[in-house]
Amino acid sequence: MISDSFYHLLFYTIIAVTLIGALLLAAWWLGAKREFPRKGIAYESGVEPSGSARLAWPVPFYLVAIFFIVFDVESAFIFTWAVAWEPLGTTGLAQITVFIVILAAGLVWLWLKGGLDWGPTASRKRNPHA
């Protein structure tokens, strides 16, 4: 037998899909159908764009951002585990230990591959004659 929870979920899904479809249809129907050349240019406080908007960000910027996301998510899981520490017991402790060990192993692998080497010393190691 299918439980009442399934019917509630099905009803909610139908409403959500219908609402999204109606909004997309309304945007298409009410939206402007004409294209203007000036419509495609970037707008920055009324200043005409000049040059390229593509900036060469250094790779370490992205690495730091990715590390922040990984360790931020890790800390969210660890804090959640810490809040529910007593009901989870030894099983929860074993699971969070495996989680931390896998993340630590990934960090060690990244360190051994040179993913953490950046800055002036890293560029000297790669190109000693520069």
Parse the chain into domains and list their residue ranges.
59-118
Percentage of the chain exceeding pLDDT 90: 32
103 touches 96 (CB < 8 A) = no
Give the integer Cα–Cα distance in Å for 93 and 77.
12
Q: Does domain 59-118 have CATH number 1.20.58.1610?
A: yes
pLDDT class for 92, splitting at 50, 70, 90? very high
The model's confidence at residue 68, banded by pLDDT at 50, 70 and 90, is confident
Which pLDDT score is estimated for 27? 93
pLDDT for the residue 121: 63
Pick from 12-21, 28-37, 41-50 the range whose average pLDDT is largest: 12-21
Q: What is the mean pLDDT of the chain?
A: 82
pTM of this prediction exceeds 0.75: no
Q: Tell whether the model's pLDDT for residue 40 goes beyond 80.
A: no
